[in-house]
């Protein structure tokens, strides 16, 4: 029994959300639908924690590997495994869904069952993406994540939901097509879809650039990097709370994960060649996203644009090609998921009360909602990387990493932090301080126990990681070193 | 883990308890916070005795992070410098909290206030005790956050809300300098551990001067921000929006003292770079003089006080710049205790609200002449120390000739202005009440009686003598812990001591003589212009607004409208329109596909119904009633699924997916 459990731990973890979906379909009554979903997501979280407990920190490669032939004619397997990099993202993927369920407890009034099933579908698909060792499996579930998100936006979204959903699908499909082209390009030459084997293969020099470009664009749209970002503010602001949380919290990270898993180890030479351009693009994204956020009057849009800025830090770390930068980037992905997820949950709580996302409609919330404002302030400052919160550690590591390349990037990226402080504090000033500007804002009630419980785990995580990040860094250290060594060896032998 | 780790942990624990159970403890926060901070103070005394007897202590707490070349430990480092400053921080905080317990009675946000002030104090103690620059920086920022939240305490005032944002932003910009400096230190020294950095700097390792200069200047930018040096000084007057106890904390115990402390902490590194020292000295000198002049022209008592603090901080920075680190710390301590005393004794009058305005005349006799004496001593203090002999060789050995003149001009200028300002502040608060709102309107300033003057003179003399004695001991105590100029102990008190004292007295006399001179006398135009310039505080706040804040915001809005929406988004939308046309063309196929999907859906509904019935019969045969009912419910649910609802299609998708997986698995075998 125990061997069955530990041998198939990952498959079990992946299966739980899908089984949960089936269970939810048969459950009746609002409360039972919600609690079945919640139970499923909590079981998943527990399983992810078990994986973390059993994880061997010294091991560089994949652990808990399971391989089953799936379509042997094409060399396609069902193959899953985790290393330190995927482990953190798996943790993130399992932390957020329970909070999403709690966050939409009252706010989803129509088609609740379908909504809960969509949450579970996204979670399951995402877990496969982050654990897949087979490029085909990776791609297939990558595609699957898009569909529930589209429905979430279009069916439960805000007033502009149809246009936003459309834009999201167009962008995502373009990205996935490029990704498909890239993956096919890889496997045609290597003759396998196994991600680990793909990294070992020598590709013809002419094709390297084009395959890298296709993969990179696919990931860059998802991440999103600078010129491909305009789907993000629309999709984020129109999606329902849980949708925004999953989108910003986990879905974006697939882009960064893809870059680290497929981009760097397979084409280190091309990545090195393009690093200067990409670093500049990252810095531009950091500053541009910050400026955009400063111009917003809509709360969700502000958070959405701040994501663009934060993802710039992620790519900045990835393309500095050293332990500090990469670990910072992975940690930043995780902490961005936590803080931005929290921000969307918080804005959602406000939206549930007044159905407005305009900052101008609030003001003086501290009087009626002291608990809410306290938590909002914490996440606002955590979001721009106030030291002693989790985001600071990520940003610090990224900046140290990139400082080995050039101090210009450090200085410019710091400009982004100042912009972050500016838009977040200005937001606080307009929303939480001063006097209430509308009748609705004057009659708000403070958040209740359920809403506090929704956010409390994130508060603990953000402060915990901020003051004691070692466990997470230790978990990914060996795996990151492997990627860094691969890039370094390519640098030495051109 | 050592008992000294409790010095920051106790206030943190109090803050945490208040944050969690604030509503239940509303109005009782001080009962938690005062004992916590008082205990920290007692522990600080213990640490002081321990360190002065047994030398520096290093305490390792835990491994903060490890990545690549970075290895950072969270730990505490207590040497003589640390314990001295720690005494000030915890001591003043304790007094301020006791005062605040009375001041904040009935405040609507009582718990929040005490939680934040406890956090504020705790953060400052970590900053002082930290053995690692990263930890220092983390709590440096936490302190900034606390100040932000405390300044916005009276959040219903728009001025307070705006001030809080501005204060934090000014600090955030400056703090990036420190952040950059810390990264530079890491790339230069390969460590962020403070004892190791100091050891490396002292051992005379070859480090290029340009590197040291750069990193020192970066760190100095951070210190400038926290210590309100020109041009980042404008935040300190804004911070007066906070409740008075917070002002006392900011001015005396926490926050502004972080700047000079950091410079002294890293003094062995700083002295390696002459140019950086020159810049520090210049900024300090400019700040000291500018703020002193501004404080002379201000009509608002709070603003006057803020600028007088800025001026004193400028002097401390200036002392660091010329290498008199010990004197800077001495001044920091003396100023801290004095300012705390001042704020607390004038706090009620400064609040200017429903409380008593000023003290009654008979009450001022004793306490006020003591205050006056302190004011006089404080205004003369920095040069007093510097000129008392210990640093006599300072300006000659420093290697840049202008320093001599600068020291004199700045030192005495500051002394003069400070004396005048303090005199005016005291007379305004104690002898008039706040002007215009006193009972019976503005009261004419009462002249000092000879008895008063003698009292003040005696007390001042006494205080100076005491200070000089303390200074002797202090210089000896601290000189091993900091870099910079060696303090020459052999030189006795010099006659130069009299000069700053005389200047201070002069400033006082001038202020007294001009105390009620009207503005009827014609003034030359240039004087008027100068007066207006300083009255408007050098227009710094306006310059921030016009040259930084507004253009940034305008640029952001323009970029969003023109570039993000106008260019990038439009490109995408045209693609969307194109694909819409294609989609219409494909619409016919779509409908056909839809039809197929629907029929698959209907089919699986049939299966689901059938499944439901099977389960139902099985349940009935078991005849367990409760179980049967629940299964019946699920069966009913399945039967109720109607075709073409979304959850239904989803179910189909999942079932199909599972079937497909099984199918492929079967084929693959």
Lowest-confidence segment of B129-143, B198-212, B389-403, B461-475 by average pLDDT = B389-403
DSSP B610-626: HHHHHHHHHHHHHT-HH
**pLDDT given for residue B516 in this prediction:** 54
State yes or no: pLDDT of B368 exceeds 70: no
Q: Are A113 and B69 inside 8 Å of each other by CB?
A: no
Distance CA B96, CA B103 (A): 10
Find the mean pLDDT for residues B199-223.
85
State yes or no: pLDDT of B390 exceeds 60: no
Interval B65-96: pLDDT, tens: 888 788 888 889 988 888 889 988 998 888 88
Which residue in the set A72, A422, A434 is minimally distant from B668, CB to CB? Answer: A72
Distance CA B506, CA A163 (A): 76
- Interface predicted TM-score of the whole assembly (ipTM), two decimals: 0.88
Distance CA A260, CA A216 (A): 11
B663 CB-contact burial (10 Å; exposed 0-12 / middle 13-18 / buried 19+): exposed
Q: Which residue has the higher pLDDT, A43 or A205?
A: A43
| B615 contact A CB<8A | no
Distances (CA, A) of B104 to A373, B29, B246, B284: 21, 10, 11, 36
Which residue in the set A70, A167, A410 is minimally distant from B576, CB to CB? Answer: A167
Question: From the CA of A423, how many Å to the nearest CA of chain B?
Answer: 10
Q: How confident is the model at residue B42 (pLDDT cuts 50, 70, 90)?
A: very high
Distance CA B322, CA B72 (A): 32
Distance CA B596, CA B361 (A): 97
Q: Are B650 and A121 inside 8 Å of each other by CB?
A: yes
Distances (CA, A) of A54 to A9, A42, A83, A300: 10, 18, 12, 38
The answer to whether the beta carbons of residues B135 and B64 sit under 8 Å apart is yes
Write out chain B residues lying below 8 Å of A469, CB-based. 64-65
Distance CA B37, CA B338 (A): 20
Write out chain A residues lying below 8 Å of B151, CB-based. none
From chain B residues 51-110, the ones with a CB under 8 A of any chain A CB are 62-70, 109
A103, A77, A438, A74: which is closest to A246 by C-alpha? A103
**pLDDT given for residue B154 in this prediction:** 84
**pLDDT given for residue B439 in this prediction:** 40
Distances (CA, A) of B432 to A16, A329, B292, B354: 76, 61, 23, 16
Instruction: Establish, for the pair of chains A and B, how many residue pairs have beta carbons separated by less than 8 Å.
Output: 203
Q: Are B172 and A421 inside 8 Å of each other by CB?
A: yes
Lowest-confidence segment of A106-115, A143-152, A225-234, B503-512 by average pLDDT = B503-512
Distance CA B99, CA B113 (A): 13
The answer to whether the beta carbons of residues B181 and B212 sit under 8 Å apart is no
Tokens found for residue B20: 């969690």
**pLDDT given for residue B294 in this prediction:** 82
The answer to whether the beta carbons of residues A293 and A302 sit under 8 Å apart is yes
Which residue, among B145, B556, B570, B583, would best test binding to A if mutated, counting the most A CBs under 10 Å from its CB? B556
| B469 contact A CB<8A | no
Q: Are A170 and B572 inside 8 Å of each other by CB?
A: yes
B345, B361, B346, B358: which is closest to B449 by C-alpha? B361
A106, A124, A123, A131: which is closest to A30 by C-alpha? A106
Which residue in the set B137, B573, B665 is minimally distant from A68, CB to CB? Answer: B665
Q: How confident is the model at residue B328 (pLDDT cuts 50, 70, 90)?
A: confident
Mean pLDDT rounded to a whole number for chain A = 87
**pLDDT given for residue A399 in this prediction:** 92
Find the mean pLDDT for residues B539-554.
72
Residues 6 or more apart in contact with residue B94 via CB below 8 angstroms: B34, B37, B38, B40, B41
**pLDDT given for residue B615 in this prediction:** 47
Interval A417-453: pLDDT, tens: 888 988 898 888 888 888 888 887 788 888 888 888 8
Find the mean pLDDT for residues B45-61.
86
Distance between the two ends of chain B, CA-based, in angstroms? 60
Q: How confident is the model at residue A341 (pLDDT cuts 50, 70, 90)?
A: very high
Find the mean pLDDT for residues A85-102.
92
| B351 contact A CB<8A | no
The answer to whether the beta carbons of residues B328 and B391 sit under 8 Å apart is no
A252, A273, A294, A293: which is closest to A92 by C-alpha? A252
SS3 B94: helix
B58, B5, B176: which is closest to A387 by C-alpha? B176
Q: Are A26 and B564 inside 8 Å of each other by CB?
A: no
Write out chain A residues lying below 8 Å of B642, CB-based. none
Share of chain B above pLDDT 90, in %: 6
Tokens found for residue B232: 């980042």
State yes or no: pLDDT of B622 exceeds 70: no
Share of chain A above pLDDT 90, in %: 28
Question: From the CA of B480, how many Å to the nearest CA of chain A?
Answer: 32
Q: Where are the alpha helices (DSSP H) in B514-549?
A: 525-535, 540-543
Distances (CA, A) of B57 to B51, B78, B83, B129, B329: 7, 5, 11, 10, 20
Which residue in the set B65, B553, B579 is minimally distant from A393, CB to CB? Answer: B65
Question: From the CA of B350, how many Å to the nearest CA of chain A?
Answer: 23
Q: Are A432 and B664 inside 8 Å of each other by CB?
A: no
State yes or no: pLDDT of B637 exceeds 70: no
β-bridge mates for residue A76, sequence order: A71
What string of H, E and C letters represents the secondary structure of chain A?
Answer: CHHHHHHCHHHHHHHHHHHHHHHHHHCCCHHHHHHHHHHHHHHHHHHHHHHHHHCCCCCCCCEEEEEEEEEHHHCEEEEEEECHHHHHHHHHHHHHHHHHHHHCCCCCCCCHHHHHHHHHHHHHHHHHHHHECEHHHHHHHHHHHHHHHHHHHHHHCCCCHHHHHHHHHHHHHHHHHHHHHHHHHHHHHHCCCEHHHHHHCCCCHHHHHHHHHHHHHHHHHHCCCHHHCCHHHHHHHHCCHHHHHHHHHHHHHHHHHHHHHHHHHHCHHHHHHHHHHHHHHHHHHHHHHHHHHHCCCEHHHHHHHHHHHHHHHHHHHHCCCCHHHHHHHHHHHHHHHHHHHHHHHHHHHHHHHHCCCEHHHCCCHHHHCHHHHHHHHHHHHHHCCCCCCHHHHHHHHHHHHHHCCCHHHHHHHHHHHHHHHHHHHHHHHHHCCCCCCCHHHHCCCCCCHHHHHHHHHHHHHHHHHHHCCHHHHHHHHHHHHHHHHHHHHHHHCC
State yes or no: pLDDT of B144 exceeds 70: yes
Residues recorded for chain B: 669
Q: Which residue has the higher pLDDT, A488 or B297?
A: A488
Tokens found for residue A201: 């293969």
Tokens found for residue B281: 């000295």
**pLDDT given for residue B491 in this prediction:** 44
Interval A56-76: pLDDT, tens: 888 888 888 888 888 877 778
**pLDDT given for residue B357 in this prediction:** 35
The answer to whether the beta carbons of residues A48 and A130 sit under 8 Å apart is no
A13, A150, A41: which is closest to A99 by C-alpha? A41
Which residue shows structure tokens 């400082």? A403
Mean pLDDT rounded to a whole number for chain B = 73
Question: From the CA of A424, how many Å to the nearest CA of chain B?
Answer: 10
Q: Which residue has the higher pLDDT, B333 or B659?
A: B333
**pLDDT given for residue A394 in this prediction:** 92
Q: Are B572 and A171 inside 8 Å of each other by CB?
A: yes
A224, A197, A210, A60: which is closest to A134 by C-alpha? A197
Lowest-confidence segment of A303-317, A347-361, B480-494, B627-641 by average pLDDT = B627-641
**pLDDT given for residue B647 in this prediction:** 59
**pLDDT given for residue B485 in this prediction:** 55
Question: From the CA of B173, how many Å to the nearest CA of chain A?
Answer: 6
Q: How confident is the model at residue A397 (pLDDT cuts 50, 70, 90)?
A: very high
**pLDDT given for residue A245 in this prediction:** 92
For A432, the closest chain B residue by CA position comes to: B155
For B157, the closest chain A residue by CA position comes to: A434
**pLDDT given for residue B500 in this prediction:** 65
Share of chain A above pLDDT 70, in %: 98
Q: Are A364 and B165 inside 8 Å of each other by CB?
A: no
Share of chain B above pLDDT 70, in %: 61
A161 CB-contact burial (10 Å; exposed 0-12 / middle 13-18 / buried 19+): buried
Q: Are B112 and A370 inside 8 Å of each other by CB?
A: yes
Q: Are A323 and B68 inside 8 Å of each other by CB?
A: yes
Distance between the two ends of chain A, CA-based, in angstroms? 50
State yes or no: pLDDT of B410 exceeds 90: no
């Amino acid at each position: 029994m125990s061997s069955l459990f530990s041998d198939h731990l990952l498959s079990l973890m992946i299966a739980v959300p899908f089984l949960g979906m089936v269970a939810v379909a048969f459950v009746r009554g609002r409360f039972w639908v919600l609690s079945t979903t919640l139970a499923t997501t909590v079981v998943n979280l527990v399983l992810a924690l078990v994986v973390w407990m059993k994880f061997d920190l010294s091991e560089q490669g994949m652990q808990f590997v399971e391989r089953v032939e799936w379509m042997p004619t094409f060399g396609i397997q069902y193959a899953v495994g985790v290393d330190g990099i995927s482990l953190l993202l798996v943790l993130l993927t399992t932390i957020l869904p329970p909070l999403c369920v709690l966050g939409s407890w009252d706010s989803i009034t129509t088609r609740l069952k379908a909504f809960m099933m969509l949450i579970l579908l996204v979670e399951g698909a995402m877990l496969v993406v982050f654990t897949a060792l087979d490029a085909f499996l990776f791609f297939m579930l990558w595609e699957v994540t898009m569909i529930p998100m589209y429905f979430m936006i279009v069916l439960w979204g805000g007033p502009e939901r149809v246009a936003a959903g459309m834009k999201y699908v167009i962008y995502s499909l373009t990205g996935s097509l490029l990704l498909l082209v890239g993956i096919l390009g890889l496997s045609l030459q290597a003759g396998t879809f196994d991600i680990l084997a793909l990294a070992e293969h020598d590709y013809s020099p002419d094709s390297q650039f084009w395959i890298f470009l296709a993969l990179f664009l696919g990931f860059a749209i998802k991440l999103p990097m600078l010129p491909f970002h305009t789907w993000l503010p629309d999709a984020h602001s129109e999606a329902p709370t849980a949708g925004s949380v999953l989108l910003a919290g986990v879905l974006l990270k697939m882009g960064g994960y893809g870059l680290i898993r497929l981009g760097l180890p397979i084409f280190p030479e091309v990545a090195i060649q393009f690093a200067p351009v990409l670093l500049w693009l990252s810095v531009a994204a950091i500053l541009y996203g910050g400026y955009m956020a400063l111009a917003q009057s809509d709360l969700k849009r502000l958070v959405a644009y701040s994501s663009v800025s934060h993802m710039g830090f992620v790519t900045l770390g990835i393309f500095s090609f050293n332990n500090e930068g990469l670990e910072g980037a992975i940690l930043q992905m995780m902490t961005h998921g936590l803080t931005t997820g929290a921000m969307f949950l918080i804005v959602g709580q406000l939206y549930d009360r007044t159905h407005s996302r305009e900052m101008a409609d609030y003001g003086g919330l501290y009087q009626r909602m002291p608990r809410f404002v306290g938590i909002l302030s914490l996440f606002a400052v955590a979001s721009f990387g106030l030291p002693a919160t989790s985001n600071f550690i990520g940003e610090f590591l990224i900046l140290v990493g990139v400082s080995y390349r050039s101090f210009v990037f450090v200085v410019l990226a710091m400009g982004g932090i100042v912009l972050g402080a500016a838009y977040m504090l200005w937001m606080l000033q307009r929303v939480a301080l001063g006097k209430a500007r509308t009748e609705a804002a004057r009659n708000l009630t403070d958040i209740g126990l359920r809403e506090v419980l929704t956010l409390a785990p994130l508060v603990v995580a953000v402060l915990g990681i901020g003051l004691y990040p070692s466990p997470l860094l230790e978990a990914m250290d060996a795996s990151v070193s492997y990627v860094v060594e691969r890039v370094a060896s390519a640098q030495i032998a051109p | 883990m050592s008992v000294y780790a409790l010095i920051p942990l106790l206030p943190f624990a109090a803050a945490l308890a208040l944050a969690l159970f604030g509503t239940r403890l509303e109005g009782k926060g001080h009962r938690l916070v005062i004992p916590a901070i008082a205990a920290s103070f007692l522990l600080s005394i213990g640490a002081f005795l321990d360190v002065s007897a047994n030398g520096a202590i290093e305490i390792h707490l835990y491994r903060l992070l490890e990545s690549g070349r970075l290895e950072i430990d969270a730990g505490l480092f207590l040497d003589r410098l640390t314990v001295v400053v720690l005494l000030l921080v915890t001591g003043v905080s304790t007094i301020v909290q006791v005062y605040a317990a009375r001041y904040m009675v009935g405040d609507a946000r009582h718990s929040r206030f005490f939680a934040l002030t406890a956090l504020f104090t705790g953060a400052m103690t970590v900053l002082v005790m930290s053995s690692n620059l990263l930890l220092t920086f983390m709590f440096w920022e936490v302190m900034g956050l606390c100040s932000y939240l405390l300044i916005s305490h009276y959040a219903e005032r728009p001025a307070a809300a705006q001030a809080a944002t501005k204060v934090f932003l000014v600090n955030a910009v400056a703090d990036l300098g420190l952040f950059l400096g810390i990264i530079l230190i890491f790339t230069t020294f390969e460590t962020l551990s403070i004892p190791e950095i100091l050891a490396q700097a002292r051992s005379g390792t070859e480090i290029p001067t340009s590197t040291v200069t750069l990193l020192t200047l970066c760190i100095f930018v951070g210190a400038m921000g926290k210590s309100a040096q020109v041009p980042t000084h404008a935040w300190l007057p804004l911070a007066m929006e906070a409740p008075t106890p917070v002002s006392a904390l900011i001015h005396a115990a926490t926050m502004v003292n972080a700047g000079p402390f950091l410079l002294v902490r890293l003094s062995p590194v700083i002295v390696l770079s002459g140019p950086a020292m020159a810049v520090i000295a210049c900024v300090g000198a400019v700040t000291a003089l500018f703020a002193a002049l501004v404080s002379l022209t201000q009509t608002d008592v709070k603003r006057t006080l803020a600028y007088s603090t800025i001026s004193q901080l400028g002097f401390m920075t200036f002392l660091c710049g010329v290498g008199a680190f010990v004197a800077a710390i001495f001044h920091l301590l003396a100023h801290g205790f004095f300012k705390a005393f001042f704020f607390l004794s004038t706090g009620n009058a400064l609040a200017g609200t429903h409380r008593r305005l000023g003290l009654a005349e008979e009450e001022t006799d004793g306490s006020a002449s003591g205050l006056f004496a302190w004011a006089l001593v404080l205004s003369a203090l920095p040069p007093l120390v510097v000129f008392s002999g210990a640093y006599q060789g300072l300006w000659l050995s420093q290697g840049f000739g202008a320093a001599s003149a600068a020291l004199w001009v700045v030192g005495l200028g500051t002394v003069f202005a400070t004396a005048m300002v303090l005199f005016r502040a005291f007379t305004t608060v104690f002898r008039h009440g706040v002007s215009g709102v006193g009972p019976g309107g503005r009261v004419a300033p009462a002249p000092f009686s000879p008895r008063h003057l003698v009292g003040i003179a005696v007390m001042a003399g006494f205080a100076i003598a005491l200070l000089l004695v303390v200074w002797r001991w202090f210089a000896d105590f601290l000189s091993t812990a900091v870099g910079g100029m060696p303090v020459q102990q052999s030189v006795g008190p010099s006659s130069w001591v009299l000069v700053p004292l005389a200047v201070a007295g002069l400033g006082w006399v001038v202020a007294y003589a001009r105390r009620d001179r009207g503005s009827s006398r014609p003034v030359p135009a240039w004087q008027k212009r100068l007066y207006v310039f300083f009255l408007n505080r050098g227009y710094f706040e306006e310059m921030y607004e016009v040259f930084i804040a507004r253009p940034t915001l305008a640029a952001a809005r323009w970029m969003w409208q023109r570039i993000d929406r106008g260019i990038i988004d439009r490109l995408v939308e045209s693609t969307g329109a194109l694909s819409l046309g294609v989609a219409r063309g494909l619409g016919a196929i779509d409908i056909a596909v839809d039809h197929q999907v629907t029929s698959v859906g209907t089919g699986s509904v049939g299966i689901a119904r059938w499944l439901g019935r099977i389960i139902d019969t099985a349940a009935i045969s078991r005849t367990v009633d409760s179980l049967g009912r629940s299964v019946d419910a699920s069966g009913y649910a399945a039967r109720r699924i109607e075709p073409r609802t979304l959850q239904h299609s989803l179910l189909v998708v999942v079932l199909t997916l599972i079937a497909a997986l099984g199918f492929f698995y079967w084929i693959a075998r």
